[in-house]
Structure 1
Amino acid sequence: ISLQFFDTWWTCQIVSLLSLEIHLNYINKMLQAHLKDKQVFAALVSPSNLS
């Protein structure tokens, strides 16, 4: 394996890892917002509020 190829391969790995981390952060934020919405919704439709 040439050093140039190895260098390029590592750069690609690092870039894909970074983009994966960004995606995971985004998904995590979306999930947390979704869960918060579900909690609010559950609070709104819970029997204690209906009685």
Structure 2
Amino acid sequence: MVLLMVVFIRVGMFLDLFFRGVLAVVWGLIIFLIRLVRIAVCIVSLGGRLG
């Protein structure tokens, strides 16, 4: 019974770290995409002014 509890806690900690890593990667990608969109909008607006 105690062994089961220990295994459960270990798995829970592993899953917590795993999901944090996944969330960090996803969040980083979202921020990266937002920056790309902003840069693209700036370039398009500048191109429209120059052209």
**Alignment: residue pair count:** 48
Q: Which amino acid aligns with 1:3?
A: V
Residues 1-51 of structure 1 mapped to structure 2, 5 A cutoff: 2-46=1-45, 49=46, 50-51=48-49
Look up the SS of the partner of 2:26 in the other structure: helix
| CA deviations over 1:11-51 (Å, ceiling 9, x no partner) | 000000000000011011111110110000111112xx213
**Percent identity for Structure 1 against Structure 2:** 8
User: Where has structure 1 moved over 4 Å in runs of 4 or more?
Assistant: none
TM-score (structure 1 length as normaliser):
0.86
Query: Which consecutive residues of structure 2, in runs of 5 or more, have no partner in the other structure?
Result: none
Unmatched 5+ stretches in structure 1: none
